[in-house]
């Protein structure tokens, strides 16, 4: 039987990275003369950067300047202002020891994603890391497709995507794979339920139990 595969979103699913992201957004918005409430910025952590900036009121012509300002901060400091959510490493260890193949599919620039995983000593758990290219203009479903390609197109019936936002659920549905909603992240249970997540889990330990005892053996 083919191994079971779990794709993970990064921000809000594996890693609490909002400190660095919020600081980057503040600098991006300031660079184009926008003043946005932090609660509004917090709502847009997770989707691709360009999409989030547009939703926050940045015009298409201002996007390059805003992105440059964001990355100038994030490259030097923001990328390191993060930590794994409680229980993440134990969950990853349990899944790996249970024979599950793990990969990351994130709207973050792939170089940033690799830096974070290495900084937090999580990189060894993952067989593949897929993310946005240098222009950052990639839909999440495209990134999930890239992750699946890197893994050799695993059986959709033995693959899941774990994420915390509706965009993760939509990307999973686009590839006809189940979506597990991580309710500890930035989207919350209501958003994930409304988006049609196949399963909801409230802790990394609950996620490991779901995959190892219900999903992986029965597909």
Q: Taking 70 as the threshold, does the pLDDT of residue 5 lie above it?
A: yes
Give yes or no for residue 207 having a pLDDT over 60: yes
pLDDT of residue 204: 98
Query: Residue 11 above 90 pLDDT?
Result: yes
The pLDDT assigned to 8 comes to 98
CATH superfamily of 18-80: Putative phosphatase; domain 2 (1.10.150.240)
Contact 64, 70 (CB under 8 A): no
Q: How far apart are CA 105 and CA 182, in angstroms?
A: 15
Distance from C-alpha of 127 to C-alpha of 97, rounded to nearest angstrom: 14
The yes-or-no verdict on residue 36 having pLDDT over 90 is no
pLDDT of 77 reads: 95
Residue pLDDT, tens place only, 145-155: 999 999 999 99
Give the pLDDT confidence score for residue 137 in this predicted structure. 57
Give the start-to-end residue ranges of the domains of the chain: 5-16+84-215, 18-80
Query: Would the pLDDT of 20 be above 80?
Result: yes
**d(Cα 128, Cα 167) in Å, to the nearest integer?**
20
pLDDT single digits (tens) 73-131? 999 999 999 999 999 999 999 999 999 999 999 999 999 999 999 999 999 999 999 99
pLDDT at residue 219 greater than cutoff 80: no
Angle between helices 18-31 and 63-76 (to 10 degrees): 140
Residues identified as active-site: 9
Cβ–Cβ under 8 Å, residues 130 and 150: yes
**Residue 46: pLDDT above 90?**
no
In this predicted structure, the answer to whether residue 174 has a pLDDT above a threshold of 70 is yes
Say if residues 179 and 161 touch (Cβ distance below 8 Å).
yes
Query: What would the CATH number be for the domain defined by 5-16+84-215?
Result: 3.40.50.1000
pLDDT greater than 90 at residue 41: no
For residue 24, the Cα-to-chain-centroid distance in whole angstroms is 17
């Amino acid at each position: 039987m083919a191994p079971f595969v779990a794709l993970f979103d990064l921000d809000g699913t594996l890693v609490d990275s909002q400190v660095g992201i919020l600081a980057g957004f503040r600098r991006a918005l300031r660079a184009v003369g926008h003043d946005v409430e932090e609660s509004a910025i917090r709502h847009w952590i997770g989707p691709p950067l360009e999409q989030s900036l547009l939703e926050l009121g940045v015009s298409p012509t201002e996007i390059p300047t805003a992105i440059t300002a964001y990355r100038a901060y994030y490259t030097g400091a923001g990328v390191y202002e993060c930590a794994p959510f409680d229980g993440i490493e134990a969950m990853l260890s349990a899944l790996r020891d249970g024979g599950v193949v793990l990969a990351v599919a994130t709207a973050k620039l792939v170089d940033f994603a690799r830096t974070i995983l290495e900084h937090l000593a999580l990189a060894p758990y993952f067989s593949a890391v897929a993310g946005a290219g240098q222009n950052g203009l990639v839909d999440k479903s495209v990134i999930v497709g890239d992750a699946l390609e890197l893994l050799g197109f695993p059986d959709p019936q033995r693959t899941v995507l774990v994420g915390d936002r509706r965009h993760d659920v939509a990307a999973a549905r686009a590839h006809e794979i189940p979506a597990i909603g991580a309710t500890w992240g930035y989207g919350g249970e209501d958003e994930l339920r409304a988006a049609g997540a196949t399963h909801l889990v409230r802790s990394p330990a609950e996620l490991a139990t779901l995959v190892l005892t219900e999903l992986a053996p029965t597909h």
